[in-house]
Amino acid sequence: MKHRYLALALAAFALAGCPEAQVDHQARGAELLAPFKMKLKGALLQGMESGPAEAIGACRAEAPQIAASLSTDGVRMGRSSHKLRNPQNAPPDWLVPILEAYASTAAEHVPQLADLGDGRSGYAEPIIVQPLCLTCHGETLHPDVAGRIAELYPEDEATGFAEGDFRGVFWVEY
């Protein structure tokens, strides 16, 4: 009987490091981020209906509220980048090497998983610049947009991007 328990414990330990377990953790990370991404996109699109300068305000006010509302029961999530607009979006320590790797290579940007210890995981999904993103993050901005960014984010680093560039990440700890 002791051997059976030992065998089961060893099998469980071995499975924890197998690719299937990693896929399960990645799937969980993606599942946790999905509502955040959907609600943020909705807020941005709604803000865009009043114009890009208003969308910046919506993003500034609503994104942290959305992340906070979904960060419950030991889950914490947000957005970050190697080129921050809002200093409050600075990355947690575990995310820094992932951001550096994404920013330093033109290789395929795929979701990344980090072991945070104590049975916790971190998951990061890259944000790739889409045409709509260029309105507020592109090389050339409308004067109203540039003015609003300068007003709200005097130390902004989040412009000058082109379609297809790596912009930042959505992240979650669980």
How many folded domains does the chain comprise?
1
Whether pLDDT at 4 is above 60: no
In this prediction, residue 11 has a pLDDT band, given cuts at 50, 70 and 90, of very low
Average pLDDT over residues 40-59: 88
Q: Which among 39, 35, 41 is positioned nearest to 130, based on CA atoms?
A: 41
Which element (helix H / strand E) includes 168?
A: strand 166-173
Contact 165, 25 (CB under 8 A): no
- Band (21; pLDDT cuts 50, 70, 90): low
Are 77 and 170 spatial neighbours (Cβ–Cβ below 8 Å)? Answer: yes
More confident residue, 61 or 19: 61
130 lies in which domain range? 2-173
* Average pLDDT over all residues of the chain: 87
Question: Quick one: pLDDT at residue 5?
Answer: 37
pLDDT greater than 60 at residue 2? no
pLDDT digits (tens, 9 = 90+) for 121-156: 999 999 999 999 999 999 999 999 999 999 999 999
Task: Please say if the pLDDT value at position 8 is more than 50.
Answer: no
Is 5 or 81 the better-scoring residue by pLDDT?
81
- pLDDT higher than threshold 50 for residue 1: no
